[in-house]
Structure 1
């Protein structure tokens, strides 16, 4: 199993022809339907060619068109019933959890329980696996795990439930839904308002050969095959459309040299918003005059809700990487901005003990550091996905990579503490960190 976050292969030119034939279960970006023609009523004796009436002129003050970027009001959670269990209260509780950055899932178990599985860099006092009866007040089992996946606290009201609970925890780790003695039916739900969904890059290329700009949600394998025939980063594991879906963006012909792709997939109101676009490169950046046809496909957990695409053009800030590795000391998750030489030396000595301290001119530069914290096994990583200047502040996107639902059971057993240091021009602007999870298969 290898971590795959970005496309490494070239793309055949035949993709442009395949894109024109796409269909199936994809959801293209919404467009306004054309107004139907208005025809005059037929006389008593039908004429061979009825003459259409002219379309009436619009009203003098038509209502303003809705802004697709405006936040949508949250809709009430439907009272969905699965196997006789009303799951809305469980969904509401899952949406409010303080854990779940890596995954936050609900299942109806054996058609008579509800199993909640939340994983993320949360406190060891937070329950991560809970088995309920048919209501949220009926808590039957609870497992609290620490960062090393050790059970800090585990208990069941009935000792006979321990084997079932252990089995379901193991199934969740392995991405299984059926095992002898246990059946899990997943309850799909929209995360809390504003939550960024974890996603990984299935394919990415600056020269796709697809000349038409478009955006699409793909929910079946046939549509994916019709949209894209080039290489993908699936590491031998195809997309499981029972639990996953693909979001595709094609930039069309462009001469811009900034990076094109998907910035975020976040919950908004009763649906998802996909932010995509091309960076505005820093002043002084040398660009080639070649015409590009950029594209990206990403995979997210399947949620059958409306998807809106919003194009953005962030102003990129240049930076360079100083260090990306597993820190030599076990530490906590942190995001830091360093502007002083003494603080920089102390931080480096604490975490990177064997390498020489990089020289930084803090009169002109500053350092941004991201620590993932201690992890129970290999397969975790951290990086700076981009730094942007936005509204008088610097936005740093921190990307944490972690094993996905189909790869957690085969990671190495070594303890890790991933860290990333980057250096950029010194600025007195406020720094805002945003988090993006990137699971891999």
Structure 2
């Protein structure tokens, strides 16, 4: 905003002098008019703040938001699981990222709050406590405008799960990147230590592949929780491994595993790009078993969502035939998810891993199992299928399929 500051008396005097010849030499004197006197408000460097927020995107998978307050200050609210020692932060700036006025953030030493200028503290206290409220909790005398942060450019990368255990010998929480056979052998020996009938390490061709893995650590998850790699992608030159901590949505009855330490290893194409790990906490949905068959009448691989009785009746006839009793489903409250492997080798299988809800979408995580290389298998085929019922939802449903050696 440009503020024009002038005095009515000064302008009147200038006009009088101009009319009288001013200094007496016949030339009107140069005067400073109202348009010449300006004061500039600070200009918000939006591009610099966007660059700052995008640069921290791996630590901001939960929240990453910027607002301009009254055209003079910027408030940044960030939270995520990607950086364990700084899970969240809230900061108030002037016109540029260099002009930090107040901050409150997570740290190894615990939450820290400070203000370089105490005159900014009252405003910061309001917006930091009301980051999810309309107008950041400020009254109508303040104008709050969001700065749009673009999604980081990303390309999905294929990956294959090679090992997933609810308990393993590695008791420390860690993420790993393995690029050579010796390091892999050492890690595998640590994973299977103490296991009865420990399986051999799945084969990995380190000339073209590498292994990434997530280890939750001993007793790190509540009873009934699960861990799983959900996505691997290339974002802004970094390989990002997204993994989920899947927690039950309600109280469950289960027996806690002594020293339970969930883990998963996956293979991806070999790369020299930096690898980042991003954690997501999601709700583990309860699924009611409808049918689990090794020989479905549906012989092509497909994923199906059924929302009504007539569609279910047709599906059941195609899947199980007319002689097998059809389960009763209340479609006013439930919906059916169907997974069909199609014709596969007799040694192959189909496993539903989990169904999760992150508040934005439902994800059905499942995998096809294949035997280790060299396994003797009956020369027959079959068509595995799994049908489950979940609570009816309006959220979009996505399917995530892996192949795992088992």
Query: Hey, which of these two has a bigger chunk of helix by percent?
Result: 2
Tell me the equivalent position of 2:241: 274
Q: Cα distance, 1:402 vs. partner?
A: 4.2
Cα distance in 1, alignment partners of residues 180 and 225 from structure 2: 28
Q: Cα distance, 1:310 vs. partner?
A: 0.8
Q: Does 1:357 align with 2:326?
A: yes
Q: Does 1:399 align with 2:367?
A: yes
CA shift digits 1:241-261 (9 cap, x unpaired)? 435433232223425224332
Native 8 Å contact 1:251 1:295 kept in 2: yes
Listed as ranges, the gaps of 5+ residues in structure 2 are: 1-48, 62-153
Alignment of 1:75-86 (within 5 A): none
**Bigger Rg, structure 1 or 2:** 2
Give the structure-1-normalised TM-score: 0.49
Tell me the equivalent position of 2:403: 438
Task: Determine which of 289, 304, 307 is the counterpart of 1:339.
Answer: 307
Cα distance in 2, alignment partners of residues 362 and 240 from structure 1: 45
Tell me the equivalent position of 2:279: 311
Tell me the equivalent position of 1:374: 343
Task: Determine which of 204, 214, 219 is the counterpart of 2:174.
Answer: 214
Tell me the equivalent position of 1:239: 203
Cα distance in 1, alignment partners of residues 201 and 256 from structure 2: 37
Q: Cα distance, 1:224 vs. partner?
A: 3.3
Q: Residues 401 and 195 of structure 1: is their aligned pair in 2 closer, same or farther, counting only changes over 3 Å?
A: farther
Q: Residues 336 and 205 of structure 1: is their aligned pair in 2 closer, same or farther, counting only changes over 3 Å?
A: closer
Cα distance in 2, alignment partners of residues 234 and 218 from structure 1: 21
Tell me the equivalent position of 1:284: 251
Cα distance in 2, alignment partners of residues 198 and 267 from structure 1: 13
Q: Cα distance, 1:70 vs. partner?
A: 7.9
Native 8 Å contact 1:197 1:264 kept in 2: no
Q: Does 1:249 align with 2:214?
A: yes
What is the CA RMSD across the aligned residues, in angstroms? 3.5
Q: Residues 428 and 262 of structure 1: is their aligned pair in 2 closer, same or farther, counting only changes over 3 Å?
A: closer
Q: Cα distance, 1:279 vs. partner?
A: 1.5
Cα distance in 2, alignment partners of residues 334 and 238 from structure 1: 28
Cα distance in 1, alignment partners of residues 243 and 259 from structure 2: 16
Q: Cα distance, 1:69 vs. partner?
A: 6.3
Q: Residues 411 and 334 of structure 1: is their aligned pair in 2 closer, same or farther, counting only changes over 3 Å?
A: same
Cα distance in 2, alignment partners of residues 234 and 219 from structure 1: 23
Give the structure-2-normalised TM-score: 0.53
Tell me the equivalent position of 2:155: 193
Native 8 Å contact 1:261 1:277 kept in 2: yes
Report the secondary structure of 2:247's partner residue. Answer: coil
Q: Cα distance, 1:225 vs. partner?
A: 4.4
Report the secondary structure of 1:420's partner residue. Answer: strand
Native 8 Å contact 1:258 1:278 kept in 2: no
Tell me the equivalent position of 2:58: 68
Ranked by relative contact order (alpha carbons within 8 Å, sequence separation 6 or more), the top structure is: 1
Q: Cα distance, 1:422 vs. partner?
A: 0.8
Alignment of 1:40-119 (within 5 A): 65-68=55-58
CA shift digits 1:60-97 (9 cap, x unpaired)? x99555322689xxxxxxxxxxxxxxxxxxxxxxxxxx
CA shift digits 1:91-112 (9 cap, x unpaired)? xxxxxxxxxxxxxxxxxxxxxx
Cα distance in 2, alignment partners of residues 395 and 195 from structure 1: 18
Cα distance in 2, alignment partners of residues 292 and 260 from structure 1: 14
